[in-house]
Chains A and B, each alone.
Chain A
Amino acid sequence: MIDHLDLTMVNWARAQFALTAMYHWIFVPLTLGITWIIAYYHSIYYKTGNEEWKRLTRFWMRLFAVNFAIGVATGIILEFEFGTNWSNYSWMVGDIFGAPLAIEGLFAFFIEATFFAVMFFGWDRVSRKFHLFSTWMVAIGSNLSAVWILVANAWMQNPIGQEFNPDKARFEMTSFKDIVFSPIAVAKFTHTTSSSMVLAAMFIISVSSWYLLKGRHQVMARRSIIVASVFAFLASLFVIFTGDQSAYTVAQKQPMKLAACEGLYRGEEGAELIAFGILNGNKKIGDDQKPCLFKIGVPGMLSYLSNRSFNSFVPGIEDMVSGNPSRNIMGTGQKMEMGKTALAALAEYKDKTTSGDAAGAAAALVTFNANKQFLGYGYLEKPEDAAPPVALSFYSFHFMVILGTLFPVVALAFLFFAWRDTLADRKWLLRLGTIMFFLSLIAHWLGWIVAEVGRQPWAIQDLLPVTVARSNLTVGTVQTTFFLFLALFTILLIAEIGIMLKQIAIGPEEG
């Protein structure tokens, strides 16, 4: 871990991006998930006409509005950071990201903005059917707008449907379909939206548990919990399914990430999935030390997760760093050679083009095209640089999985005691319920750490490391904005928590 604590410009820029993204990601999953549950509450009101469900729906809409207001536009700061701190990257991916982000903007504006207003202002002003339709459209629209940013992120993990243009220094889109329907994009969208539903359900369970502990708004709290628990349970099962899909696609497209997440240094057949373990902090790539000081594993499960076969071979970090000819795995050293050849050919292409040597440029381009799939490896100094920070990836992955396993159990417990009508007496469960939102938020953050730290050193998988993706700025410049953001986000977070707690304390309108 300490080896990676290198606070140069690149790492300050990464820290700033992580800070902004984690702050942004407090609001996004709650918006994505709670809109579905609100739409469901609204549907019950529409069907029953029971005023209690209307009050309940309006109450959760109010908390959603607070979340939306504080969260809106925080994502724009990420785009500022692209242009300022990551200008090389920003330029190179402009053609790929332009279309998805433009579509996201259109979705966000037309669907969310239009139906959002009808959802909030439409009570007794528009027909009940159109009002309900609008609430569902807010849920659908906000989740659809999330598709595009996740597609963009997935492309960085698996850059397909593109061709590098050596004249413009840009990756240009060759297949929109390949980019949108890449396996990583599909897995990322389904995993993110389903886990957002879990988070939102846990938010409702947390607030409602607090009401039950305080003996306030008990009917509303109990009803809210029952619906939210069903959502949490079903969505949690789906998260396990999508998580499995996600791990499978990572195994196929980013095997180094999977190996880091599992602390798998040497590949093996019938590889075990570590349920829980403690890493050996002294372990280095290539030495003979054991990776784990302690572990509890499930034999063959990692092989199944990776290749849908319990006995299959799963490559370890050392197989990919040093190469493993018997498994037909190319080592990083060979990829570095090809990457350096591609970079030299690209430089030569530029020189020949500038000097008007068309034949020389064409020859350089042939060499570049033959080696460009490993372009990014040309920047690495040693093969070990291709491995991400193992400890951070490993612990983030495992704690995320442990929390993800806890959620359906807690949801079932809430449902069981609600069915027995003894929920208000189960103080231990209600106390646990009050912290479930925070645990699910932590699980989300850990998931993003797995996704982003686990793919280091790459900004674009195999093609562009973060060290080359950055702008030419001084450390001081980025440090200044880092602390500026820290202050701004702290103030905004205090504002949100303050407004949210006030609204929770006020509670739903009395009937």
Chain B
Amino acid sequence: MPFRFEFPAVVRNTARFYGDGLRSMTLGRSLWLVIAIKLVVIFGILKLFFFPDYLGTHFETNRERADFVLEQITHPQPSTSPGGELDD
């Protein structure tokens, strides 16, 4: 007799519960669409192109990051000069 894998009943019932619930939504579909678009914009555009982790992208190791921050806090650069143009 061929082996046939079946998920436990609790898993099947839970999946059916969520599946039925999602299918029966009317307003919920619009809301999921809003959430999906928002997540794409937040993670796919904002995070990727506009919000890199400054220390994560500029340094390889935590030691380098710690040294950089230590340098920053012990020899801070002026931040109130007009324009405040600093290193990028």
Contacts and interface: CB of A to CB of B under 8 A. Distances in A.
10 contacts: A83-B52, A83-B56, A117-B21, A125-B17, A170-B66, A468-B72, A472-B87, A475-B85, A477-B88, A499-B27
Contacts of B38: 70, 72-73, 492
Given A84-B51, A474-B84, A475-B83, A73 B73 contact: no
Given A73-B42, A168-B66, A472-B87, A84 B31 contact: no
A507 B79 CA distance: 52
B69 A472 contact: no
A83 B51 contact: yes
Given A77-B46, A347-B74, A69 B80 contact: no
B54 A83 contact: yes
Given A8-B80, A70-B34, A481-B50, A346 B21 contact: no
B79 A84 contact: no
A20 to B, nearest CB: 11
Contacts of A84: 50-54
A87 B46 contact: no
A36 to B, nearest CB: 22
Contacts of A474: 84-86, 88
Interface in A1-45: 6, 8-10
B54 A473 contact: yes
Given A66-B31, A76-B42, A121 B17 contact: yes
Interface of B: 17-18, 20-22, 24, 27-28, 30-32, 34-35, 38-39, 41-42, 46-47, 50-56, 62, 65-67, 69-77, 79-88
Contacts of B51: 77, 80-81, 83-84, 481
Nearest to A92: B69
Contacts of B84: 8-10, 474-475
Nearest to B54: A87
A480 interface: yes
A499 B50 contact: no
Nearest to B30: A499
A420 B71 CA distance: 69
Contacts of A481: 46, 50-51
A473 to B, nearest CB: 6
Given A8-B80, A480-B50, A472 B88 contact: yes
A190 B84 CA distance: 39
* Interface class of chain B by DSSP: helix
Nearest to A83: B53
Contacts of A120: 21, 28
Contacts of A488: 41, 46
A343 B71 CA distance: 11
B42 to A, nearest CB: 6
Contacts of A480: 50
Nearest to B47: A80
A83 B46 CA distance: 13
| Most B CB within 10 A of own CB, among A6, A83, A347 | A83
A69 B35 contact: yes
A88 B42 contact: no
Contacts of B20: 121, 125
Nearest to A348: B74
A10 B70 contact: no
B76 A467 contact: yes
A444 B50 CA distance: 29
Contact of A8 (B53, B73, B81): B81
Contact of A347 (B41, B62, B75): B75
Contacts of B87: 472
